[in-house]
Structure 1
Amino acid sequence: MTKKVGVLIVDDHPVVRTGIRGMLEGQPDFEVVGEAVNGEEAVDLTGRLNPDIVLMDLRMPGTGGVAATSRIRKEHPETRVLVLTTSDSGADILRAVEAGATGYVLKDAPREELYGAIRAAAEGKPLLAPDVAAHLMERVRWPSEEGLSGRELEVLEHVARGKGNKEIARTLWISEATVKSHLLHVYEKLGAADRASAVAAAMQRGILRL
């Protein structure tokens, strides 16, 4: 008998988790091994349940999907992370891929597309849903003149929410020195002198939306 693909569902909405579980359990080659409500729980359950695939939402309270993806890929490299989210933002896609996500699928995608993405991820094949790939290619084709990297944008978003360097470092699982380095690059690229002016410049140019 062929081994089933073990899937851990990560989403902060119970209705969404129930719906996804129902869809996956209708497929003979999938087995839902658990559910997590945030990134922190996802990392913990990945270590305990050893799923083949973590189906990861991005925007959740506490530890978000990008930070959780990065930790899972570092601590459990044999587990693949497939992002399933409502966000088709080029910045979100880049951050997820940079964190180690194998694929990226939107929640409104046809269920057969999701099934195919899970099967591809289980085989270690990178996959972006067609509409997601289009958004990503558009971002690559027409990059902002500021040229902020995905990680620099992520740091700036946390700054815009009022977080200090220590809290940002803890959230993103990087050092404070790395946060400071990213901010210096942001200041240089935006021509800003400090945190407030960097956020203002990014919002004015449309590269940061809160």
Structure 2
Amino acid sequence: MTSTVFVVDDHPVVRDGVILLLRSDPMLTVIGSAESGQAAIERITELRPDLILLDLRLPDMLAPEVISELRKVHSGGKIVVFTAHADHHGITASLDAGADAALVKDVAGTDLSAALRAVLRGERVVDPRIVPHHTQRSDALARSGLTRREYEVLRYAAQGRTNPEIAESTGLTRNTVKTYLQSALHKLGARNRVEAIVKASEAGLL
């Protein structure tokens, strides 16, 4: 039985190359592709693939945002973040948002297929070059006392988002966003969001 794959990447050469690689695996069938986060969400809602191969950097949305939206419309799909750069901050944020795996794009074709098959079996696959950084971020988060939701709200605030924008991205109410942000400020010993972002950065959280 073959598994269906959807590829999201804004670079046509990369997108086409990955699709070509995956077509050589009889157990994987590419059923579509997209070059932006919004287009991916719309197509995936309709096609409901078994696995989504998602570029870390898209022109309209950050991968963690795309993942949050995909979890709402297609919670059963496996999500693999695929990046050309060992952008550890972005990868960690994506894993925190619900990605099942993270791979670096220089992985060989056979290794890519093997990794995707492992993810489809329910395994969590993270490129060994990423693990130390992900572990460091998780340790820093544990030390801070922040919950995952508080961290998520703070991360959006660090991107310059307003409370209404954060509410829209996370599916939370504005009051709940405000509550999480205030709680994060208290735990970080910060008086305002700017100070909280500085302290979170110093602690290795952002």
TM over 0.5: yes
Cα pair 2:56 2:81 within 8 Å, conserved: yes
Structure 2 gap segments, 5+ residues each:
none
Find out whether 1:19 has 2:17 as its counterpart: yes
Q: Deviations over 1:44-96 (max 9, x none)?
A: 11122221111112332333322222332333233211111245455544433
Distance, in Å, in 2 between the alignment partners of 1:155 and 1:203 is: 14
Which residue of structure 2 lines up, in the alignment, with residue 188 of structure 1?
186
Q: Deviations over 1:91-144 (max 9, x none)?
A: 544433333322221223333332112111222222222223333234445657
Q: Deviations over 1:165-197 (max 9, x none)?
A: 001221233322332122112211221111222
Which residue of structure 2 lines up, in the alignment, with residue 111 of structure 1?
109
Task: Quote the offset at 1:20 in angstroms.
Answer: 1.2
Which residue of structure 2 lines up, in the alignment, with residue 65 of structure 1?
63
Which of 152, 156, 159 is the aligned partner of 1:158? 156
Which of 42, 45, 48 is the aligned partner of 2:46? 48
Give the direction of change, closer, same or farther, for the CA distance of 1:205–1:99 in structure 2 (3 Å limit): closer
Q: TM-score, normalised by structure 1?
A: 0.81
How many residues of Structure 1 are paired with residues of Structure 2 in the alignment?
A: 206
Distance, in Å, in 2 between the alignment partners of 1:125 and 1:107 is: 19
- Report the secondary structure of 2:144's partner residue: coil
Cα pair 1:89 1:135 within 8 Å, conserved: no
Which residue of structure 1 lines up, in the alignment, with residue 166 of structure 2?
168
Task: Quote the offset at 1:204 in angstroms.
Answer: 4.7
Distance, in Å, in 2 between the alignment partners of 1:97 and 1:206 is: 16
Query: What percentage of aligned pairs have identical amino acids?
Result: 34
- Report the secondary structure of 2:4's partner residue: strand
Structure 1 gap segments, 5+ residues each:
none
- Equivalent position amino acid for 1:112 in 2: T
Q: TM-score, normalised by structure 2?
A: 0.83
- Equivalent position amino acid for 1:6 in 2: T
- Equivalent position amino acid for 2:74 in 1: H
Cα pair 1:94 1:150 within 8 Å, conserved: no
Give the direction of change, closer, same or farther, for the CA distance of 1:38–1:152 in structure 2 (3 Å limit): farther
- Report the secondary structure of 1:137's partner residue: helix
Give the direction of change, closer, same or farther, for the CA distance of 1:21–1:78 in structure 2 (3 Å limit): same
Give the direction of change, closer, same or farther, for the CA distance of 1:143–1:169 in structure 2 (3 Å limit): closer
